[in-house]
Homo-oligomer: A and B are copies of this chain.
Amino acid sequence: MNLKEKLLLGPGPSMVDPRVIEAMQQGMFGYLDPDFMNVLDDLADKIKTVYGTSNVTMAIPGTGSAGMEAGLSSLLEPGEKVIMCVYGFFCERMVDMAERIGASVIPIRADWGKPFPAELLEKEISKHEKVKMVTAIHGETSTGIKQDLKQLSQITKNHEALFMVDAVTTLGGTNIEVDKTGIDYIYSASQKCIGAPPGLSPVAISDAALDSIRARKTKPSSWYLDLSLLADYWGEKKIYHHTTPVSMIFALHKAYELLLSEGLENRFRRHEANAGALIAGLAKLQIEVIPPDGSRLNQITPVWIPEGINDDAVRSKLAADYSIEIGKGLGDFSGKVWRIGLMGESSKREYVLKLLSALEDIFNYYGFEIASETATRAANEYYESSDLKSSATDSQF
């Protein structure tokens, strides 16, 4: 296999620190090996720290979508009401999943590319009796929107429902305070801001949510993603469920270790600095960022593709001539939007400048008259002027 490595600046997977890759050299262990159980326990603790929770935590043996499905299929019985705040591609995926398991789904659809207005939830939830759960996405990767969760959580609690949150894109790059916010089930993915390869989904589940699974009248439709069975393996009982993906666990454990060594605050500031510099540079290329200020994720920056520029041609040229991968638009945004991800190891000053320089070249190639280094100079000026300067470089802590 002769593979050409690329700089990954899309929606994930992101680049992975060599020490995380190295951790997979640890070799193989049985799924009930006492030494390996210590690794699982320690990983569960680290997951708690980063989520800011004392809830039960674990890593589900699948990608972020497995974490999504584990929550919906474990926490909802057929016919139970779930109100879903919908403002992007992955919100729609949640709706699809919830419908498949036979829940009574009440979607509230709002504009893509703007934060979801909490008053819509208040209005809708007041119309229904016995809503079991409300769902939201902290950072919609399809639109780059950072959703405020506090108000949604408060409304949900006022109506005695469970609150389920997708943190696939935000975890490790934006502060999440699960306990303070009041989140009953939250899931993420290993390959974005956490900095491990894809394949595991770190989750946290409240006692109220676990109790509601144990009180179900019917078993969850999924055995593989049954959160109560998974919790019995990760918890004190250590009851065999599946054969744990050992190598991936070692990688995820190392990635959490590196994340905590860098420090959460430092990591958040690094993501903020690099996104800011990227946007300063993009402005010089007349590339407009979609999310409004204040609701913008630092992890992923979706932009409108300028008129006269062909989506596929530019992304192909970036990949072929510059070995850089950026993300395309999904769903309603297909062909209209690029998504530039600066997540985890991919959030580095060096990479921001490399991408801006490549875009300058390509835009000139397509007849836009961009003076040399216009965009990179703007990014560098941003770094130098910003009080985030010291956080702007890489994660070689």
Q: Which chain B residues border A38 with CB–CB below 8 Å?
A: 1
Known: A1-B39, A3-B36, A219-B99. Is A61-B199 also a contact (CB below 8 A)?
A: yes
Question: A371 to chain B: closest CB distance in Å?
Answer: 31
Residue of B13, B25, B31 near A30 (CB, 8 A) is B13
Is A139 an interface position by the 8 A CB rule?
no
Nearest opposing residue in chain B for A1, CB measure:
B39
Knowing that A8-B29, A13-B30, A100-B219 touch, tell me 20 more A-B residue pairs with CB under 8 angstroms: A1-B38, A1-B39, A3-B26, A3-B39, A5-B29, A6-B33, A16-B28, A21-B24, A28-B197, A62-B62, A62-B242, A63-B224, A63-B243, A65-B242, A69-B223, A73-B221, A100-B223, A101-B221, A240-B330, A245-B248
Q: Which chain B residues border A198 with CB–CB below 8 Å?
A: 31, 243-246
Nearest opposing residue in chain B for A10, CB measure:
B30
Q: Which chain B residues border A16 with CB–CB below 8 Å?
A: 27-28
Residue of B29, B65, B224 near A69 (CB, 8 A) is B224
Q: Is the CB of A64 within 8 A of B15?
A: no
Is A12 an interface position by the 8 A CB rule?
yes
Is A96 an interface position by the 8 A CB rule?
yes
Nearest opposing residue in chain B for A328, CB measure:
B32
Q: Which residues of A contact B (CB under 8 A)?
A: 1, 3-6, 8, 10, 12-16, 21, 24-31, 33-36, 38-39, 42, 61-66, 68-69, 73, 93, 96-97, 99-102, 189, 191, 197-199, 219-225, 240, 242-248, 250-251, 253, 319, 325, 330
Nearest opposing residue in chain B for A35, CB measure:
B3
Q: Is the CB of A8 within 8 A of B28?
A: yes
Q: Is the CB of B224 within 8 A of A221?
A: no
Known: A27-B21, A199-B199, A199-B248. Is A243-B6 also a contact (CB below 8 A)?
A: no
CA A139 – CA B53 in complex, angstroms? 43
Known: A69-B222, A101-B221, A243-B191. Is A3-B28 also a contact (CB below 8 A)?
A: no
Question: A170 to chain B: closest CB distance in Å?
Answer: 16
Residue of B31, B199, B222 near A222 (CB, 8 A) is B222
Q: Is the CB of B4 within 8 A of A35?
A: yes
Residue of B8, B31, B250 near A13 (CB, 8 A) is B31
Residue of B14, B63, B240 near A245 (CB, 8 A) is B63
CA A10 – CA B246 in complex, angstroms? 15
Known: A13-B29, A15-B28, A325-B33. Is A97-B223 also a contact (CB below 8 A)?
A: yes
Question: A187 to chain B: closest CB distance in Å?
Answer: 12
Q: Which chain B residues border A199 with CB–CB below 8 Å?
A: 61, 199, 245, 247-248
CA A281 – CA B240 in complex, angstroms? 30
Name 25 A/B residue pairs within 8 A (Cβ), A-sorted. A1-B39, A1-B42, A1-B250, A3-B29, A3-B36, A5-B27, A10-B30, A13-B28, A13-B246, A15-B28, A16-B27, A21-B27, A24-B197, A31-B198, A62-B224, A62-B242, A63-B242, A63-B243, A69-B223, A197-B248, A199-B199, A221-B221, A224-B225, A240-B330, A245-B248
